[in-house]
Amino acid sequence: MSIFEVFIIGIGLSMDAFAVSVCKGLSMKKLDIKKALIIALYFGIFQAVMPLLGYLLGVAFTGLVENVDHWISFILLSLIGINMIKESLEATEEKQNDSVDVKTMLILAIATSIDALAVGVTFAFLKTNLMLSISIIGVTTFVLSLIAVKVGNAVGDKLKGKAELLGGIILIGIGLKILLEHLGIF
């Protein structure tokens, strides 16, 4: 998997964190850079750690699923993408809260990074450079979350659904590319 592909996956994975960061920025009366950095750090760290955990799980089972690993990657990425698209189309009223206490941020960081765990499993099947991949994903999420807090504070929640929709489309596209490459079509 190329650095560009990992970067695109990082963008796709970070869209949940981006959407939540927009909401956090929206709930701030005035942009608080310290809170913005805390939000971005939580999301960036968890988006990097979860693929590592997924990779370790994937390595443990690689021998058992080697013949179908491309299908597993495609299905996992597609399911994550479809879920993100579904969530982007649902009109949900979220309580706005600019709190960055440990409990709040742990819950949000875990909730927005579960999909990264599944992507980490696919990294094990694809023999991806793990340290480079998780670094790219973590930094990408950190930067996009930081930007999202600012955007949310300035613009509002009009971007939330669009960010999740884009993230879902990206992940499905990467999954399809993995499958087609393995089948020799692409």
CB 98 within 8 A of CB 28: yes
Grade residue 82 by pLDDT with cuts at 50, 70 and 90.
confident
40, pLDDT greater than 90: yes
Question: Which DSSP string corresponds to 84-149?
Answer: HHHHHHS---PPP-----HHHHHHHHHHHHHHHHHHHHHHHHHT--HHHHHHHHHHHHHHHHHHHH
**Which tens digits make up the pLDDT trace of 132-160?**
999 999 999 999 999 999 988 887 556 66
Whole-model pTM? 0.74
Ramachandran angles phi, psi of 109, nearest 5°:
-65, -40
Q: Which amino acid is at 107?
A: I
Q: H-helix or E-strand containing 73?
A: helix 69-89
Q: Which pLDDT band holds residue 94 (cuts at 50, 70, 90)?
A: low
Look-up of token digits 């990074």: 113
What is the domain partition of the chain in residue ranges?
A: 3-182
